[in-house]
Structures are given as C-alpha cells and as structure tokens.
Amino acid sequence: MLDTYAERWALVTGASSGIGREFAHRLAGLGMHLVLTARREDEMRKLADELDTRHGTRCEIIPLDLSIPSNPEKLVDEIHKRDISIELLVNNAGFAQVGTFADTDQEQIFQLVQLNIAALTELSYRLAGPMIEQKHGGIINVASVAGFQPVAYMSAYAASKAYVLHFSEALWAEFKDYGITVLALCPGPTETDFFNVAGVPGWLKGQAAHTSEEVVKIALRSLEKKKHYVVVGWKNYILSLLCRLAPRKMVVNESRKYFRPRSKPKKKRKEKNTEQDSASAEGSES
C-alpha cells in the first residue's frame, strides 16, 4: 500500500523536530514529496536540504503557527496555489501544558485547543475532499496514550487527545469505503523535547520511552495494515486497556501521582533580580 504513495505529496505539520521530523525522513525514503509546516523556518530548510541530498525529495516549506485560527486555511490555500494535491496528511503539530489549574496560563490553553483540536480538524476536512474524489489517500492524526483517560494537571491536553482518538476512529469508519485510511497514532512517552516544553523538564529521566524512529515505523506499518488506531508499545497498550476497565475515579486519581507540580521554593527576603521558572509550555511541535 505504501508503495502507491511514491511520487505523491504528503503534508507534515510540526515538521521541524521530533516525531514530525522523523515522519519527513521516513516518507521521503518511500519516495514521497513533502509539504513541511511548522513555526521554525530555519529548521525546516535544514531538513529539506538533508532530504534532497539523501532522497532527491521535493520539499515545499510553509512556515506557519497553526495555533493562530486563520492559519490552517492559509496553509491549504497556499498548497492549492502551488498546485499540490495532498495524498497523505500527517497531523502531528501539538503541545501540552502541565500545571495546576490555578497556575495555568489560560491563553496557552486556548492555543492548545486551537492547535491540538481545531487545526487538526480543519485540515482533515479541507484536505479529505480530493482524497474522497480520487478514492485514495491517508490521514495520520497523532493522538496519545493519554487520550484513553483523564489526566490530572494535564487536563486540557489529555482531553484534546481523546478528541483526536475518537475523531480519527469515526473518520476511519466513514472513509474506508473510499479507499482512505485514517489512523490515530497513540504514542506513550517519546524521546523528544515534548516534556521540556510542557513545563516538566527532565520528566523522562528514568522513564521507559520510545524513540521517534520507533513511533513512526509503527505508525507507517499500521497505516499499511489499514488499522484505525495503534498504541506504541505493549506496556502502553495494556495500560490503555486497564484504563477502560478500571473505575474512572481510580484512573484519574492515579494520574495525580505522575504530573503533580513540585512545590515552589520560598523566596528569601533579601533575594533580588531573580527569575521564576515558567511552568507552562510555549507552543511547540510534539
């Protein structure tokens, strides 16, 4: 199945780092041409040069912040202006924010919802039409193992990934008669800057984590098998099942152990010109 994507175009959001960057490498290796979008233009240009050298891949770079509500439409319009038809959409862009409700930066939560949910939904709707007409194509939406349960101190993020999971599974059922596969990719902890950006630097230390290479390899294998969702790693898969079977109160109470923010140290009276570490995430590609 993946062979049929050769010489066709894929759109990868959040392409400048982590899982998105690895998707770009893997898809280029399959002979696909790429539209790359993220906020960091310099990183994408380096990536495009690398892909051209290794695979002779054509890359179109469109730097945009998809947490801005008007930008998903701008992205699609620009793709159409360049006379590109997207055969594979990889909705990877997203970020998390970890912290107590009282300390949450509300504007960043609104950006999280816009990026993780609204932008993903809009791109899916705007780009699926031609796939339906051609009866060929695919969509990979990056969800998370967190989408199977509520997570204290990451409430908006976990809820956003639950949306991505359910939205993707529903589209899979609708689109399969058109030859289009929609996959919800549900990784667990992955070796990227995700947790550093989310406000819990060093959280991965001592944790079992997958690499971006492992995550993307499993995603593409699952797309080829026309799966509707995949959880990366058997331990994460078992956890996702347990979350469905256990009482919901128990599940959410257990989640408090993992991301409860540490107490902030008290300031000394004579201390001057100190800076507090931010416990919130800047918009980032996961």
The pLDDT score that the predictor gives to residue 6 is: 87
Q: What is the mean pLDDT of residues 42-57?
A: 95
Task: Give a yes or no: residue 192 inside a domain.
Answer: yes
Task: Give a yes or no: residue 59 inside a domain.
Answer: yes
Name the pTM for this structure.
Answer: 0.86
Confidence bin at 103 (pLDDT 50/70/90):
confident
Task: Give a yes or no: residue 273 inside a domain.
Answer: no
| Count of structural domains within the chain | 1
Task: Give a yes or no: residue 272 inside a domain.
Answer: no
pLDDT in tens, 213-231: 999 999 999 999 999 999 9
Task: Give a yes or no: residue 91 inside a domain.
Answer: yes
- Which domain, by its residues, includes 92? 2-259
Task: Give a yes or no: residue 274 inside a domain.
Answer: no
Report the percent of the chain where pLDDT is more than 70. Answer: 84
Q: Which amino acids are annotated catalytic?
A: 157
Task: Give a yes or no: residue 57 inside a domain.
Answer: yes
- By residue count, the chain amounts to 286
Q: What is the mean pLDDT of residues 16-22?
A: 93
Task: Give a yes or no: residue 116 inside a domain.
Answer: yes
Confidence bin at 266 (pLDDT 50/70/90):
very low
- The CATH number linked to 97 is 3.40.50.720
The pLDDT score that the predictor gives to residue 201 is: 54
